[in-house]
Structure 1
Amino acid sequence: MSVESELGLVSNLESTIVAAWPSWSIAQPVLNLVDDPRRLREWLQEADPADADDVVYGIAWLASTEGGRDCEAAQTLAWLLVPGSAFLASRLRTLSVDIDHVVAAELWLLVCTFPLQRRKVISNLMWDLRANVLAACEAPATLQRKDPTWYATVAFADSDLMAAIVDEPDPSSFDELVGVLDWACDHHVIAAADRELVLMLVEASQHLRLRQTPSHGLLGNDATTTVAALLGVCDRTVRRRFRRTIRALTEAAPAYTRAA
C-alpha cells in the first residue's frame, strides 16, 4: 500500500479536477490564475509564491468544512500533498506497520478541516500532519520536539549566505534555514517549490547520514535520487534547481541581513 492508495485517490482525478474547475473558479475566482488545471502541480511549482498560495488557499477553502465542504476539492488538496506525505511516511515508517494508513487518515482530516484564517497552506498542513502522525503513533516526546528527520543540522559550507546571517540565541539550524527560506519566498527571491525542494533534500540527506550512507550530502547521488523520484523529475533537474536556489539566496543575503 501507499499513502496515495490509502487515500483512495482515483486514477482519473485529473479529469475530475478539470470538470470541477469552472464551478470552483466561480466560488473562488483566484483559481482563474491557473490557465490549465491539468497542469496544476506544474503551475504551482512555476508560479509566483503568493499566487501559488492564493490558489492552494482557494482549493483549501472549497475543501474545508468551514468553507465549501467539497469532497472533490479535498481529494485535490490531498493529491497535491501526496509527494510530501509519502516522504514523511517513509521517514516515520518505524513508528507503525500501518504508517501509510496513519498518514493518509491524518492528512484527510487536515484537508477537510483546514482553518481558513491560516495561509501558507501547504507548509502549515505538512507541519500539522507530522505533529498529528507522531501523536497518533504515540511517539516519544523527545522525538516530537526534535526529530532528526526534520530538525536537521544544516549548513551551506562556506556559503556567503550563511556567513551573512546574524546569529540568534540558540536557534536550531533547521529553524534558521526555514526562516531564511520563508523570508526568501515572501520577498519573491525563490518560489515556494524551490523552498520545498531544499527542505526535501535536507531531510533526505539527513536520513542517509543517520544510516551512514556514502554520498549523503545535499547533492549526493542518493539524496537527489530520492527527491527526484518523489517529484517525478530527473536527478539533474533537482541539482539544477537547487543550485539556482542557492545562487538566488546568496545574492539576497545582504538584504536578509538588513531585515534580520
Structure 2
Amino acid sequence: MSVTDCLGESWNELRGRLLAERRVTEWAQLEPDLHGMTDPQQIRDVVADRAQFAQTDQLFAALLRLAATDGGDDRNAALLLAHLMAPAASLLARSLQDLSPDIDWVVASALWTEIRSYRWRVREHGHALGLKLDTRTAVIHELADTRGRDGRRLELPVGPDNLARLRTVDRLEAPTPRSSQPERQAAAVEALLRWARHHSVLSAPEVQLLLDFELAEPEERAHVTRLYGVTDRHLRRQCFRLKDRLRAAVAEASITALDAARPAHIDRAAPPMSARGRVFTSGGDHHPIAR
C-alpha cells in the first residue's frame, strides 16, 4: 500500500480519462497560467523539473483555484494535484509511519482535505510547500496531538486533581434528551468553544469542523461530509482528536465548561451562537466563534 494507491485512480488511468474528456484544455480556458497545456503529463513534467520552480508555482496556484470547494470545486483538478503531490506525501507518510498502521490512508485523506480547503485567496506563492506543511500539520494533529509542528513529542502535564473536571466535557459530548434544557447545553458548548478559540486551543477551521459535524443531526452529517470532500470516518476521527485535545486543555487550565462562560474567559463582544442556526460551510463564511 502507498499514498498513491489510496487515491483510487492510478496516474495512467487519470491521465487517460482527462485526455479523453479534454479537461486540461477546458481548464486552460479558465486559468491563463495553464495556457498551452493539453496533457496532464505536460504539467507533471514541469513540476518534476526543479529548474522551473516559478512555473510550477503558477501551475499549482491555477489547479488549487480549480480544485478548492470555494473556487472551481473540481474534483478532477484535486485528484491531479494529489498525484502531483504524491512523492512528497509518500515521504511524509514514511517519516510518520510510527503513528499509525494506516498512515498512507491518513496522509492521503489529509492531503485531499487540504487541497479541497486550500486558502487560495490568501496565499500567493509557495503553494506546493504550503500544501505539504499543511498536510503534515493535519496528520500530526489527528494522530499525535502530543507532538509539535516539528513532529517532536510534547508532554502535557495534567494534575490528578484536574482529571475529574474532564467529566464536565464528557457530559457535553454525550447525547441527551431534547427535553433536558437544550438551550443551557447549547450555551455551555458555545462558551467552551469560545474559550478554546480565545486561548488558541483550537484553530478557527477546527472550531468550524466541530460546529459543522459534531453538532449536526445524524441526517445532516452526510451533507457535511460532502462539503468537506472526505469520508464520514475521517471526520469522526478528526473530531475525536479535537475533543481529546479540548479535554486535556480544560483539565490543565483547571476550569469547567461552565467556568468558560464567565466574562474572564470569553470575549463578551463576540456575537451569540445558536447550535441549531449554524450554516454549513467549507472554506466560505465561517461561524463567528470560528473566526
- Taking structure 1 as the reference length, the TM-score comes to 0.52
2:42 pairs with one of 39, 45, 52: 39
Residue in structure 2 matched with residue 16 of structure 1 by the alignment: 17
Deviation per CA, 1:117-147, whole angstroms, max 9, x where unpaired? 21311100000011110111024234x3454
Please give the residue correspondences for 1:133-172 in structure 2 after superposition, counting only pairs within 5 Å.
133-142=139-148, 144-145=149-150, 147=152
Shift of 1:70: 0.4
Shift of 1:115: 0.8
Deviation per CA, 1:29-54, whole angstroms, max 9, x where unpaired? 21015475323222223363222211
Shift of 1:57: 0.7
Residue in structure 2 matched with residue 27 of structure 1 by the alignment: 30
Q: Give, in whole Å, the separation in 1 of the partners of 2:109 and 2:25.
A: 29
What is the number of residues matched between the two proteins? 147
Residue in structure 1 matched with residue 113 of structure 2 by the alignment: 109
Q: Give, in whole Å, the separation in 1 of the partners of 2:77 and 2:39.
A: 16
> Is 2:72 aligned against 1:68?
yes
| Unaligned residue ranges in structure 1 (runs of 5+) | 149-260
Larger Rg: 2
Residue in structure 1 matched with residue 7 of structure 2 by the alignment: 7
- Does the CA contact (< 8 Å) of 2:15 and 2:39 recur in 1? no
Q: 1:145 to 1:45 in 2, by over 3 A?
A: closer
| Unaligned residue ranges in structure 2 (runs of 5+) | 154-291
- Corresponding letter in the other structure for 1:24: W
> What's the C-alpha RMSD, in Å, of the aligned pairs?
2.0
Please give the residue correspondences for 1:1-260 in structure 2 after superposition, counting only pairs within 5 Å.
1-10=1-10, 11-18=12-19, 19-34=22-37, 36-46=39-49, 48-116=52-120, 117-118=122-123, 119-142=125-148, 144-145=149-150, 147=152
Shift of 1:114: 0.8
Q: Percent identity?
A: 31
Q: Give, in whole Å, the separation in 2 of the partners of 1:103 and 1:146.
A: 14
Q: 1:65 to 1:20 in 2, by over 3 A?
A: same
- Does the CA contact (< 8 Å) of 1:31 and 1:58 recur in 2? yes
Looking at secondary structure, tell me which structure has more helix per residue: 1
Q: 1:100 to 1:27 in 2, by over 3 A?
A: same
